[in-house]
Amino acid sequence: MKKVAFYTLGCKLNFSETSTIGRLFIDAGYAVVAFTDAADVYVINTCSVTDHADKKCRKVVKEALKYSPNAYITIVGCYAQLKPTEIAEIEGVDMVLGAAEKFRIVEFISDLTKQPKAVVHQQHIETVNHNFIAAYSIGDRTRTFLKVQDGCDYPCTYCTIPLARGGSRSDTIENVVSRARQIAESGVKEIVLTGVNLGDFGIRNGQREDKFFDLVKALDDVEGIERIRISSIEPNLLSNEIIEFVANSKRFVPHFHIPLQSGSNKVLALMKRRYQRELYAERVAKIKEVMPNCCIGVDVIVGFPGETQEEFLTTYQFLNELDISYLHVFTYSEREQTEAAVMKGKVAGSTRFERNKMLHILSDKKRRSFYQSQIGQVAQVLFEDDQKDGFMHGFTQNYVKVRAKYDPIMVNELKKVTLVALSPDGNVEVAEAEEVFAH
């Protein structure tokens, strides 16, 4: 039996697609093994969000060949769609598959004979614009990432995702509900809805047929799934009706991740974002009004062209005053074929680094403050299948990471616990087996 191993870079959507590709190999008679287990085939699913895609891809290829020098190396994902020729020149790479080809991978590599030059199968991204391919992760994590939407029609000036994944397109509500039921039957307790622009769910064949809110309502009635989490949603697509529904939902948890990117309206305009800071503040206020304990995560980009020190401080102050829980901070990096790459007002690398550092410190402060506010609360924790230094970890409904003394019986189980204490440095301390602490 031939062995295949996977390595995934990037987002939850990539993880769902890697898992689905893995099942294609299993159906073809392969055994899926760990990356270190000397596989016959390595599949590396790449990301293109930052300018480190090339460096990361090269490093993973090198590591794979260290474990299995004669392995057949295939690169898929966003970076593979954008830079197939560049990837094909990486030493050790045997095949590169674009967005339209990655789910036909088993067909393309039926013969593992290594050629003098890497084989490239990649079409123009427009060939996938109306073709939605479902995916979900299962068996490799406590929760399942369920892909319901792909591609994006938003022309953000810094982003290559529309070039790598094509236009916005979605599955049907009926299909998503059916898959959610299948996932529930497998014993999974939590589903994370994923997509490139999740709130834009409902477009098929270039036409809007459904709304994301319709999907949310339908999924709330799926028996067997304890929790459903929304991975990320644009502020202009996060309506009050969605917020109010989640607040009273049977399954949707009080946790939103809402991209901001900048707290400056001037920079938001340069980015071609579809909202201003005032709308963002309204969304946060609404969430906290109906769900005071809701966890709110924020994406923000520092060092975008035209972001002066004053604009950055505007962003910093805006975030500091918002009732949010944590930040995902990205340092702007120039991406070919984007408008921002040729904009004036380039920010020095050292300045970008300093701004990133400042926001990371702010994020730590926000997370600690949020966790501290949860001490004394009774919460339901879904425990992960991990063990480190005698402890296991899990997440509450509102995304507080906790730990308890390891007990194999608690893996993939929902336990009602009291959040007891937070140590001064943000780590956790457990005094008794029944006590669970904010991490």
**Residues pairing with 298 in the sheet:** 258, 327
pLDDT in the model for residue 406: 87
CATH 3.30.750.200, the chain: domain bounds = 257-374
Percent of the chain with pLDDT over 70: 95
* Closest alpha carbon to 14 in 43, 51, 54: 43
d(CA 68, CA 258): 41
d(CA 363, CA 359): 6
| Contact of 1 with 29, CB cutoff 8 Å | yes
Residue 126 CB partners (closer than 8 Å, separation 6+)? 166
pLDDT in the model for residue 328: 96
Q: Is the pLDDT reported for residue 279 higher than 60? A: yes
Residue 174 CB partners (closer than 8 Å, separation 6+)? none
pLDDT in the model for residue 140: 60
CATH 3.30.750.210, the chain: domain bounds = 132-253
The helix/strand/coil state of 393 is strand
pLDDT digits (tens, 9 = 90+) for 64-80: 999 999 999 999 999 99
CATH of the domain spanning 132-253, picked from 3.30.750.210, 3.40.50.720, 3.40.309.10, 3.30.70.890: 3.30.750.210
pLDDT digits (tens, 9 = 90+) for 394-438: 899 999 988 888 888 888 889 888 888 875 545 443 334 355 555
pLDDT digits (tens, 9 = 90+) for 208-227: 999 999 999 999 999 999 99
pLDDT in the model for residue 364: 93
Q: Model confidence at 10, in pLDDT bands (50, 70, 90)?
A: confident
How much is the average pLDDT of 4-20?
92
- Token representation of residue 100: 């339209």
How much is the average pLDDT of 8-23?
91
d(CA 225, CA 218): 13
d(CA 381, CA 397): 7
Average pLDDT of the chain?
91
For the beta carbon of residue 55, count every other beta carbon within 10 angstroms. Answer: 10
pLDDT digits (tens, 9 = 90+) for 114-173: 888 999 999 888 877 778 999 999 876 679 999 999 999 999 999 999 999 999 999 999
pTM recorded for the entire structure: 0.92
pLDDT digits (tens, 9 = 90+) for 336-371: 889 999 999 999 999 999 999 999 999 999 999 999
pLDDT in the model for residue 256: 98
d(CA 322, CA 363): 12
d(CA 292, CA 286): 10
Q: Which fold has domain 3-123?
A: Rossmann fold (3.40.50)
pLDDT in the model for residue 402: 87
Q: Which fold has domain 257-374?
A: Transcription Regulator spoIIAA (3.30.750)
Classify each residue of 131-155 as buried b or exposed e, where b means 16 or more C-beta atoms within 10 Å of its C-beta. ebebbbbbeebbbbbbbbbbbbebe
* Closest alpha carbon to 132 in 219, 257, 8, 13: 13
| Contact of 232 with 260, CB cutoff 8 Å | no
For the beta carbon of residue 402, count every other beta carbon within 10 angstroms. Answer: 25
HSE toward the beta carbon, residue 114, CA cutoff 13 A: 14
